[in-house]
Structure 1
Amino acid sequence: MSSRARALTICAALVLALLLTAALAPLPYSLAYPGPTANVLGDNKGKPVITISGADTRRTSGQLRMTAIVATGPDAPVHLPDLVRGWFRADEAVMPSESVYPVGDNTEEVARHNAAEMKESQDAAVGAALGQLHRSARDVEVTLRLADIGGPSAGMMFALGIIDKLDGDGSGGELTGGRTIAGTGTIETDGSVGPVGGVPLKMRAAHRDGARLFLVPKAECSQAVAERPRGMRLIPVTTLKGALDALKALKSGGSVPSC
């Protein structure tokens, strides 16, 4: 073998070794998928999601479904072939690990963080809903239970569920009009609705579970429009009052905002 041939062989071997190293090295990304949805007006694992005492509640026939994503954990390695596959699939998303898990280096730490965020979100949802209805937390006690799902992104749907249970559409009917409505968005006690991550995957989860109406934070409309499932209607939201007004207009045949 000539010296040139040996040099080419060595270079090829080095390139192959680098490619193999790149393919096998763990990367700072997570793969996310459409996760579970849950009807906040119904039961979860045999227990009501919303329990209210100190006030009369209404029967509901429609559904308000919160949505979630699932993702590979911070201690689960993701490699280059996984990312390449995820980039080309509509039912997967490649996301930086720090955007999915901003706190925690392992599954247990992440679970504790998500549970704490869920509790804060639930407290804010109760405050926002009772504030919208001009009711006092001293008189009305609201308990929220939703097992195995964490994070703050169900806040708006919790608040809407509480309002539907207590007041419906405010004129004797239920807020949903008997429809299955899904959505996502954080909530503050003043009723402001904030953006969340993973909207395209959450829309797919909602579509899979029967929803054709999706409440989405207005700041994420452009991404939602670009990737919405066929037949899904998007309603932009910036406040809890805006979401209520849109749902009431949907029932009455009035003007409903759209992305």
Structure 2
Amino acid sequence: MSRRSVVLTVCAAVVVALLGVAAFAPLPFTIMYPGITANTLGSYPEKASDGQQPQQVITITGATVRQTSGALRMTTIEATAPQDSVSLLQAVRAWPNPREAVVPHDAVYPAGQNVQQVNATNQQEMTESQSDATTAALSYLHLDAAKVKVTINLASVGGPSAGLMFTLGIVDLLDGNGTGKAGAAGDLTNGANIAGTGAIDGAGKVSEVGGVALKTKAAARDGATVFLVPSSECSDARANTPAGLRLVPVDTLGQAVNALKALQQGTGTVPSC
């Protein structure tokens, strides 16, 4: 073998070795994917599993609660744990997959925060979201918050993105057909499996939350046929939308209720992304 051939062989071996190391070396990325959904009108988990007993997601005292049908599903996304490294090989494999998203690690886990701090922030946002959802729903129904108490139990989920679906769950349990009058008959869902996402404030304004393209996958996986989404995130929601899932943009609680009423009654206009 000539000297040139030896040099080329050694160089090739070095390159292969470097590529092998690079393929498994940790990168500053996190992989996200569709998470759990929970019916805010029912219990979570919906069936007992791994020793976890179902618990009612929304409990209301101080007012008559209706027997509901259908589902109003809040949706989530999950991510690789902050201590788990993502290799180049994993990132390349996940990148073209519509059911996964590769994002900068700091976009999910802010630099300088440990797992406990991230979880604490997410739980604080969830607590505020539940409070705003209760305020928005009771205000919409003209009910006295001093008399009607709402408890939301979904300890395994953090962040603000379930606000809209919590609010609609409270409205449906107390109202039903979206008249704004507690005790009204009918169902806000008309028995359908509705999912959605969106933060909400006490005045009923819906705002964007992120991760919509993955949440639509979670919704479709769990049987939803309609997905409520903040209108500013329509373009993200349209990315590889699962077949059979109807996207309905909303900016306020009132718009969401009106859209569901139009869907259940088959009359009026239902907005579309």
Q: TM-score range by the shorter chain?
A: over 0.9
2:175 corresponds to 1:175: no
The TM-score, its normalising length taken from structure 2, stands at 0.88
**In structure 2, which of residues 96, 99, 105 is the aligned counterpart of residue 91 of structure 1?**
99
Which runs of no fewer than 5 residues in structure 1 stay unpaired? none
RMSD, aligned α-carbons: 1.8
Q: Which residue is equivalent to 1:20?
A: 20
Q: Is the 8 A contact 1:103 1:113 kept in 2?
A: no
Aligned mates of 1:33, 1:81 — CA distance in 2: 17
Amino acid aligned to 2:211: G
2:251 corresponds to 1:243: no
Aligned mates of 1:26, 1:10 — CA distance in 2: 26
1:2 CA drift (Å): 5.0
Distance 1:218 1:102, change over 3 A: farther
Aligned mates of 1:98, 1:182 — CA distance in 2: 28
Aligned mates of 2:133, 2:229 — CA distance in 1: 16
Q: Which residue is equivalent to 1:258?
A: 272
Q: Which residue is equivalent to 2:222?
A: 209
Report percent identity of matched pairs: 56
Instruction: Report matched runs for 1:1-259 at 5 Å.
Output: 4-44=4-44, 45-102=53-110, 105-169=113-177, 170=179, 172-253=185-266, 254-259=268-273
Between 8-17 and 29-38, the greater mean CA deviation after superposition: 8-17
The TM-score, its normalising length taken from structure 1, stands at 0.93
1:252 CA drift (Å): 1.9
Deviation string, structure 1 residues 189-237 (Cα, Å, up to 9, x no partner): 1211111222122111111111111101111111212311011101001
Q: Is the 8 A contact 1:182 1:211 kept in 2?
A: yes
Aligned mates of 2:137, 2:112 — CA distance in 1: 31
Q: Which residue is equivalent to 2:47?
A: none
Distance 1:79 1:184, change over 3 A: same
Aligned mates of 2:218, 2:136 — CA distance in 1: 26
Runs of at least 4 residues off by over 6 Å: none
SS in 2 for 1:23: helix
Which runs of no fewer than 5 residues in structure 2 stay unpaired? 45-52
Matched positions, count: 259
Aligned mates of 1:128, 1:101 — CA distance in 2: 30
SS in 2 for 1:98: helix
